[in-house]
Structure 1
Amino acid sequence: MRRTSLILVSGLLPILSGSCGDAPSVGGQRLPGSAGSLAELATTVLVGLAAADTLRLEGVRLTEIEHNEMVWPELPASAPEVNYPVDLAWKNIRTRNRAALSDLFGVYENRKLQFIDAECRGPTEAFESFVVHTDCWVTLERDGDLIPPQRIFKDVLDWDGELKIFRYYEP
């Protein structure tokens, strides 16, 4: 079992390189700020939560452009017969994400957090260009106490090994 101390740790968003699809690349990444593993993603999130670092937390979450231009066109909700506009979908994600972060800061801000494990327990949904891992849980220690697995983020996009969060989880 690997433990990573998270409080006062800086620079955990490494610059990764990868190759995926036809999406434009920034610094070798199709999804800038993405993580190379679920453990790396969860560790970065815990560092951001402990420090109430919204920039770090937003950095590992899909941007509006990534969602609207890369992901949305392949989702079932984007089908013309569904008639669900992308701007409404993004507004919903953004609103729920803000509420979730407010709740999460109340639980994790200024706490000593240690990453223990991360797993996505739900089904994996495969699309043409990416995979979505669902029902994700993080096991951690908070202030030295092991706590049961937590749903801090719900779904993770995997674009050829580059992982990003759809939105943070709101209870």
Structure 2
Amino acid sequence: MLRVTRLLVAALLLGAPLVGCAPAAPALSTTWPEPEAAARAVLEAIERRDEDALARLALSEQEFRDHVWPELPAARPERNLPFSYVWGDLRQKSALALAATLARHGGRHYDLLDLRFPGGVTTYPSYAVHRDTVLRVRDDSGTEQELSLFGSMLEQDGRWKVFSYVAD
């Protein structure tokens, strides 16, 4: 009986730090170590007109819910903005922007020369949002141009992901 009691106490003590702790959200999927790699992936998917790949390159609903939403000012109770409204609005605008981008640029090859974020950076406790992504590219004819094919990029734990296709 003493052995069972000791085992029970040990199990309770080992599990005690876990009580009240929410499980950590899974890491963001389809991320890159630098923003240029993420931008190249978008350019390649646009060239292939690969809507499924483009969807994976941007934040999913679950990623937005787990990683972004809790730290946004809009999530504060006094704002009275439900997650479903904010996500639905972002998703709809992103889908429309992506459709327009594919109609205009789908099938075209662009080489990324560089990128910049003229909208600046907003830092939150666990991530940063780099706003107004502008890509400087060269097309097959050698012409250089600047394109805004997606809006912001999310940086978290040294990894980068497209926030949405809404060009800020």
AA paired with 2:76? A
Q: Tell me the distance in 2 between the aligned counterparts of 1:97 and 1:142.
A: 25
Match of 2:55 among 37, 55, 58: 58
Structure 2 counterpart of 1:104: 101
Name the counterpart of 1:163.
Answer: 160
Equivalences, count: 146
Q: Which of 126, 146, 151 is the aligned partner of 1:149? A: 146
Cα separation, partners in 2 of 1:72 and 1:44, compared to 1, 3 Å: same
Query: 1:27-42 alignment to 2 at 5 Å?
Result: 30-42=27-39
Cα RMSD for the two superposed structures = 1.7
Deviation at 1:96, TM superposition (A): 0.7
Q: Residues 45 and 51 of structure 2 are in contact (CA less than 8 Å); yes or no, is this contact kept in structure 1?
A: yes
TM-score, normalised on structure 1? Answer: 0.79
* Alpha-carbon shift at residue 166 of structure 1 (Å): 1.6
Distance 1:124 1:112 in 2: 29
Bigger share in helix: 2
Correspondence 1:76 to 2:44: no
Displacement of 1:23: 4.0
Name the counterpart of 1:88. 85
Give the Cα separation in 1 of the matches to 2:167 and 2:99. Answer: 9
| Structure 2 unaligned spans of 5+ | 1-22
TM-score normalised per structure 2: 0.80
CA contact (8 A) 1:52 1:105 kept: yes
5+ residue gaps in structure 1? 1-21
The offset of 1:104, in angstroms, is 0.6
How far 1:170 sits from its partner (Å)? 4.9
The structure, 1 or 2, with the larger RCO (C-alpha pairs under 8 Å, 6+ apart) is 1
Among 58, 64, 74, the alignment partner of 1:67 is 64
